[in-house]
Amino acid sequence: MAEGVLRHAGGDLFEVRSAGSKPAGYVHPMAIEAMKEIGIDISAHESKSLELFLDGTVDTIVTVCGNASDACPVFPGDVKRYHWGFIDPAHAEGSDEEVMAVFREVRDLIRNTFEAYAAGYREASTKSA
C-alpha cells in the first residue's frame, strides 16, 4: 500500500521502489481492495526482497512496518532514512469486515503521511530550483 500511495502522491517527483525485509511473496488481496477504494491500482505490484536493490543507487529509504527500520541493510553513500511505523494489517484478526477495517485504517494513515511527505518534497524542490 505504501508504494502505491507514494507513487500516486509523488507523481514524477521521485522514483519509488518497494521491497520488504521479509516479503510475503504476494500482495494481500485486502490491500489491493483497500487501495482500489481510493482509486489506486496496486494489483500488478509484487512482493519483493530488499536484496533486489542492494546494487542500485538509493538516496532515500522509507520504512513503514514494525522493525523494518532495524532490518534494513546499509546502503552506501549519503542515504536519507525515514521511518513511519504503521501496524501490518496482514496480521489483523477477526471477521473479514474487521480485518478490512484495519486495512482501511492503515491505508488512510499511510496516505496522510505520504501525501504530506510528497507535498513537503515538492515545496522544497521548487524553493531550491
- Would you state the pLDDT for residue 115? 95
- Would you state the pLDDT for residue 63? 81
Report residue 62 as a C-alpha cell. 522509507
Interval 56-84 mean pLDDT: 73
DSSP 77-118: SS-EEEEEEE--GGG--SSHHHHHHHHHHHHHHHHHHHHHHH
- Would you state the pLDDT for residue 72? 61
d(CA 60, CA 16): 10
Closest to 4 in 3D by CA, of 69, 34, 26, 21: 34
pLDDT at 69 over 60: no
Please identify which residue in the block is written with the cell numbers 532515500.
Answer: 60
Interval 82-108 mean pLDDT: 94
Superfamily of domain 2-128 in CATH is Response regulator (3.40.50.2300)
Residue-wise pLDDT for 4-59, tens only, equals: 999 999 988 888 888 877 778 899 999 999 999 999 999 999 888 877 777 767 78
Residue-wise pLDDT for 116-128, tens only, equals: 999 998 898 888 7
- Would you state the pLDDT for residue 73? 62
CA 85, chain centre distance (Å): 11
- Would you state the pLDDT for residue 76? 67
